[in-house]
């Protein structure tokens, strides 16, 4: 089962307000390793057609790994507002 | 500003344990939890070691929604193409009172929240705390949305990331080298299949850990726990280890590869995947435990880095529950003396020091450093399995004497200066 299908099994309550914002300018200017692309267990980071880093925050498992792994402080990351985000039924 | 005796930031096991203690003492306590219910945001492996905390709230555990007591302990050292599985069969694990139980957090945390409410504590879910309010050096309460709520003591139980507490300087921001990523799948299987597959009596459970090839040599390992009618199958991998590996691996693919291993495939066969989850784990050890108390506040559980990964045992939930318990006692005491300053709350750290919480973390103080050695996850699983593979092999050529195979293998893989030095360092574990 691919990762998108796996995420499809989880319960998400999606906020219109994003809880992760990328300072793309930093990614482009200083980051060579681009850790977010491979550390995220939900595989949510992607470089778009324009070559800019994007994150599909709707599928976020809220583990914080991207935040901890970004050496360049390019992420503005907080938990989704109460009532939003992933809601595990098992945990 | 509305005011209560005690506010608790985060309704996970640490926060709820503190709330239960305080509510039992008749204090006015309010837990604020961002999830739709307690446990909605929480992930563990996992198994709860009950032995260290059995006497803490003894009345609770009889009715707790545990999955299965762990009666079978297995560990597999995975080399490339050969692996070795050890099973520890021990009467002391196989008979009650059981040392540990498998758990699922959405069930366990929600149940504990119910117990808190039954004692008269408030658990406010679906609300995110936005800020810890500080006046001078004193924590005075919280801000959640448009509401400011004051408290004599604020217990910080926000979990591993510590976003709010690091913002106001009560701890450091989390660093990659002190944290691991844990992620897992829950696969449903009928309980009869679980019992057959893991050779268990009805109701009993197994815990199976994996080291080596499962993380492609990165610090960490795989785990498999049997629940009532599902299994938890997952991976823990060091955040720094992922960064340091030459050829980067997308973390999610490790778990898929794990499931495809010939040793694992028959175990998960027929299982229905129902949930995929991920969470960070504190692994910095005692060196990274922040100041545990100050004017008007205490830190408990993962928020305070109270967790321990000692390769074969991963512990955090028992530390969370125990730290919550001692926090509640300290707050109740401070309230009764009318002194919620740092001095009034200092008893909290003392009781953690004389309990298993800080004692075990102190005993394990060298483990984070030892685990930084990647050979633990490459050389050793491979060497053990390689040697056994030789011993079991009957090839087309005349065999060596058993003793020379063993001596040769041991000499090559274990009797060299580097390995001996490493094994010597491991005596500290
Ligand atoms: C994959 C994995 C395997 C593990 N295996 C084991 C194991 O086998 N045994 C073991 O003992 N431990 C294990 N652990 C560790 C264990 O799960 C943790 O140590 C434990 O969950 C810590 O509990 P806690 O209450 O401190 O934190 P958490 O459970 O993280 O609780 C924090 C709570 O605070 C809430 N919160 C956070 N911020 C806010 C906010 N701003 N406003 C409102 N609410 C907020 C969260 O929603 C959450 O409910 C494992 C961990 C992982 C990830
Ligand atoms: S690791 Fe940080 S700086 Fe690098 S690409 Fe990702 S978000 Fe940008
Ligand atoms: S918090 Fe975890 S799941 Fe969410 S984007 Fe970051 S790494 Fe991915």
Which ligand is closest to the CA of A36, given by its number?
2
B112: CATH: 3.50.50.60
Spatial separation of the C-alpha atoms in residues B196 and A38, rounded to whole Å: 37
A33 at the B interface (CB within 8 A)?
yes
**Does B90 map to a domain?**
no
In degrees and rounded to multiples of 5, residue B95 shows phi and psi of: -125, 150
Distance B160 CA to ligand 1 centre (A): 7
Residue B273: CB partners within 8 Å, gap ≥ 6? A1, A6, A9, B185, B186, B187
Contact A80 B128 (CB under 8 A): yes
| CA-proximal residue: ligand 3, atom 8 (nearest) | A40
In degrees and rounded to multiples of 5, residue B200 shows phi and psi of: -115, 150
Query: Strand pairing partners for B88?
Result: B73
**Does B80 map to a domain?**
no
Chain B residues lying within 8 Å of A62, measured CB to CB: 41
**Does B111 map to a domain?**
yes
Which ligand is closest to the CA of A55, given by its number?
3
Same structural domain, B7 and B133: yes
Which of B354, B389, B405 finishes a domain? B354
Spatial separation of the C-alpha atoms in residues B283 and B241, rounded to whole Å: 13
Same structural domain, B226 and B350: no
Specify the range with the lowest mean pLDDT, choosing from B81-90, B262-271, B340-349: B81-90
The answer to whether the CB of B199 falls within 8 A of the CB of B40 is no
**Does B76 map to a domain?**
no
Task: Show the tokens assigned to A37.
Answer: 């692309």
**Does B138 map to a domain?**
yes
Same structural domain, B256 and B192: yes
Query: Strand pairing partners for B275?
Result: B186
pLDDT above 90 (res B404): no
**Does B363 map to a domain?**
no
Rg (alpha carbons) of chain A, rounded to whole number: 13
Closest-approach residue (CA) in chain B for A62 = B279
Same structural domain, B55 and B31: yes
**Does A66 map to a domain?**
yes
Same structural domain, B270 and B297: no
Protein residues with CB under 6 Å of any ligand 2 atom: A 22, 26-27, 31, 34-36, 53, 70, 72, 74-75
B245: CATH: 3.30.9.90
Same structural domain, B185 and B153: no
pLDDT above 80 (res B230): yes
B328: domain range?
Answer: 2-65+103-172+290-354
Closest-approach residue (CA) in chain B for A37 = B250
**Does A69 map to a domain?**
yes
Spatial separation of the C-alpha atoms in residues B97 and B71, rounded to whole Å: 11
Least CB–CB distance from A9: residue in B175, B249, B275: B275
Same structural domain, B159 and B32: yes
The answer to whether the CB of B46 falls within 8 A of the CB of B22 is no
**Does A33 map to a domain?**
yes
Based on the structure, what is the number of domains in chain A? Answer: 1
pLDDT above 70 (res B427): no
Least CB–CB distance from A62: residue in B41, B248, B276: B41
Q: What is the ipTM of this complex?
A: 0.98
Task: Show the tokens assigned to B224.
Answer: 């498999």
Comparing C-alpha atoms, which of B167, B141, B137 is closest to residue B154? B141
Q: Tens of pLDDT along B98-123?
A: 999 999 999 999 999 999 999 999 99
**Does B328 map to a domain?**
yes
Mean pLDDT score, A13-25:
96
Mean pLDDT score, B40-48:
96
Same structural domain, B60 and B123: yes
A66: domain range?
Answer: 3-86
**Cut 0.90: pTM above it:** yes
SS3 B396: coil
Residue B184: CB partners within 8 Å, gap ≥ 6? B43, B45, B223, B232, B233, B234, B235, B255, B276, B277, B278
Same structural domain, B197 and B343: no
Contact B183 A61 (CB under 8 A): yes
pLDDT above 90 (res B374): no
Q: Which residue has the tokens 């989390």?
A: B174
**Does B114 map to a domain?**
yes
Question: Where residue B309 falls among pLDDT bands split at 50, 70, 90?
Answer: confident
Contact A61 B248 (CB under 8 A): no
Q: Which helix (H) or strand (E) holds B142?
A: strand B138-144
Same structural domain, B278 and B311: no
Residues B309-320: b if buried by 16+ CB within 10 A, e if exposed: bbbeebbbbbbb
| CA-proximal residue: ligand 3, atom 6 (nearest) | A66
Distance A63 CA to ligand 3 centre (A): 5
Mean pLDDT score, A36-60:
97
Contact A89 B277 (CB under 8 A): no
pLDDT of residue B386: 75
Which of B246, B262, B282 finishes a domain? B282
Count CB-CB contacts under 10 A for residue B414: 16
Chain B residues lying within 8 Å of A63, measured CB to CB: 181, 183, 278-280
Comparing C-alpha atoms, which of B67, B17, B59, B68 is closest to residue B38? B17
Mean pLDDT score, B363-388:
77
Q: Tens of pLDDT along B118-151?
A: 999 999 999 999 999 999 999 999 999 999 999 9
**Does A91 map to a domain?**
no
Least CB–CB distance from A63: residue in B242, B250, B280: B280
Comparing C-alpha atoms, which of B280, B356, B275 is closest to residue B319? B356
H, E, C per residue of B60-80: HHCCCCCCCEEEEEEEEEECC
Same structural domain, B167 and B195: no
Specify the range with the lowest mean pLDDT, choosing from B109-118, B287-296, B302-311, B404-413: B404-413
pLDDT of residue B90: 80
Contact B249 A79 (CB under 8 A): no
Contact B243 A69 (CB under 8 A): yes
Spatial separation of the C-alpha atoms in residues B276 and B63, rounded to whole Å: 27
Count CB-CB contacts under 10 A for residue B270: 11
In degrees and rounded to multiples of 5, residue B20 shows phi and psi of: -60, -45
Same structural domain, B203 and B335: no
Based on the structure, what is the number of domains in chain B? Answer: 3
The answer to whether the CB of A34 falls within 8 A of the CB of A53 is yes
Spatial separation of the C-alpha atoms in residues B424 and A10, rounded to whole Å: 45
Spatial separation of the C-alpha atoms in residues B261 and B44, rounded to whole Å: 23
Spatial separation of the C-alpha atoms in residues B428 and B410, rounded to whole Å: 22
- DSSP assignment, residue B173? P
């Amino acid at each position: 089962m691919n990762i998108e299908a796996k995420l499809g099994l989880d319960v998400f309550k999606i906020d219109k307000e994003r809880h992760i914002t990328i300072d793309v300018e930093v990614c482009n200017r200083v980051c060579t390793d681009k850790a977010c692309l491979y550390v995220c267990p939900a595989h949510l980071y992607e470089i778009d057609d324009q070559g800019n880093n994007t994150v599909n925050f709707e599928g976020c498992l809220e583990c914080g790994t991207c935040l901890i792994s970004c050496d360049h402080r390019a992420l503005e990351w907080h938990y989704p507002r109460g009532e939003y985000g992933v809601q595990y039924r098992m945990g | 500003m509305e005011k209560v005796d005690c506010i608790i930031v985060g309704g996970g096991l640490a926060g709820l344990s503190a709330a239960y203690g305080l509510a039992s003492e008749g204090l006015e306590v309010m837990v604020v939890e961002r999830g739709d219910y307690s446990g909605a945001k929480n992930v563990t492996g996992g198994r709860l070691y009950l032995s260290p905390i059995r006497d803490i709230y003894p009345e609770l555990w009889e009715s707790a929604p545990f999955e299965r007591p762990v009666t079978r302990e297995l560990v597999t050292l995975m080399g490339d193409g050969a692996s070795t599985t050890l099973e520890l069969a021990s009467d002391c694990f196989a008979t009650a009172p059981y040392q540990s139980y498998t758990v699922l957090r959405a069930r366990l945390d929600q149940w504990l929240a119910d117990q808190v409410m039954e004692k008269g504590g408030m658990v406010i879910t679906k609300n995110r705390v936005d800020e810890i309010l500080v006046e001078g050096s004193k924590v005075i309460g919280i801000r959640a949305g448009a509401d400011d709520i004051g408290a004599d003591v604020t217990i910080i139980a926000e979990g591993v990331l510590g976003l709010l507490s690091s913002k106001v300087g009560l701890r450091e921001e989390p660093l990659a080298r002190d944290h691991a990523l844990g992620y897992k799948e829950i696969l449903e299987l009928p309980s009869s299949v679980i019992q057959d597959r893991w050779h268990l009596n009805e109701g009993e459970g197994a815990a199976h850990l994996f080291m080596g090839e499962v993380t492609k040599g990165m610090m960490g390992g795989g785990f498999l726990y049997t629940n009532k009618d599902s299994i938890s199958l997952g991976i823990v991998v060091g955040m720094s280890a992922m960064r340091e590996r030459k050829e980067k691996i997308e973390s999610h693919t490790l778990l898929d590869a794990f499931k495809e291993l010939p040793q694992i495939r028959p175990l998960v066969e027929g299982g229905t995947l129902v949930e995929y989850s991920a969470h960070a784990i504190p692994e910095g050890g005692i060196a990274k435990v922040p100041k545990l108390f100050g004017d008007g506040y205490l830190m408990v559980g993962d928020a305070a880095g109270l967790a321990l990964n000692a390769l074969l045992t991963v512990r955090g939930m028992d530390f969370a529950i125990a730290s919550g318990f001692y926090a509640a006692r300290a707050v109740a005491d401070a309230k009764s003396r009318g002194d919620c300053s740092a001095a009034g709350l200092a008893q909290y750290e003392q009781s953690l020091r004389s309990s298993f919480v800080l004692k075990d973390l102190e005993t394990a103080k060298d483990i984070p450093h030892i685990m930084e050695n990647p050979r633990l996850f490459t050389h050793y699983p491979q060497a053990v399995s390689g040697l056994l593979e030789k011993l079991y092999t009957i090839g087309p050529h005349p065999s060596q004497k058993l003793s020379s195979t063993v001596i040769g293998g041991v000499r090559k893989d274990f009797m060299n200066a580097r390995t001996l030095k490493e094994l010597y360092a491991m005596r500290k574990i």
